[in-house]
Amino acid sequence: MQGEVPVLLVVEDDFLVRLTLVDALSDGGFEVLEAADAKEALGLVCDRGDIAAMLTDINLPGGSDGFALARAVRVVRPEMPVLYASGRYSGVEAGQAVDGARFLAKPFTPTLAATMIRELMAEGTPAQAAPQPPPKADRHI
């Protein structure tokens, strides 16, 4: 629907960084939900079916990092676009990322984050792009 405000989940353990992102992304046209760790974030994803994308820090407290969170989210919502953010990302971790995800090096501007999130949402994910088999009645042998 046109005019709908996309819902974005921001997962960041640093309160001041999270607050800055939430404020800036809200001003940038998103409805923003926030979580301080993977457990809280996954709960929001399971409770809310309207989350359009997730921006997550890679280094999170509580035993699950951003990579594990994204994999868990994709079990529930395979179409969820994911943007990882990290100040310590070296490129070695790319093999741990979910398909179609992007990386954003800290420090970054909220404008850049919003642009990348909108691009990810427009591109869709491999789960969305994969061709679906025809209904059973239409299959040919």
In a domain, 12, yes or no: yes
pLDDT tens digits, one per residue of 51-86: 999 999 999 999 899 999 999 999 999 999 999 998
pLDDT in tens, 102-118: 999 889 999 999 999 99
108 domain-assigned: no
d(CA 53, CA 113): 12
- Tokens 């994709």 belong to residue: 74
Q: Is residue 56 part of a domain?
A: yes
Is 59 within a domain? yes
Give percent of the chain above pLDDT 90. 67
Cα 25 from Cα 139, distance rounded (Å): 45
Q: Determine phi and psi for 66, rounding to 5 degrees.
A: -60, -30
Residue located via tokens 């979910």: 98
Q: Work out the pLDDT band at 134, boundaries 50, 70, 90.
A: very low
Predicted confidence at residue 70, as pLDDT, reads 95
pLDDT for residue 2? 56
Q: How many domains does the chain have?
A: 1
DSSP string for residues in 3-67:
TPPPEEEEE-S-HHHHHHHHHHHHHTT-EEEEESSHHHHHHHHHH-TTEEEEEEESS-SSS--HH
70 lies in some domain: yes
Does 128 fall in a domain?
A: no
Residue 127 lies in a domain: no
Is 117 domain-assigned? no
Which CATH number covers residue 22? 3.40.50.2300
Q: Residue 139: what pLDDT? A: 35
Print the domain residue range for 77.
1-101
The model's pTM is 0.84
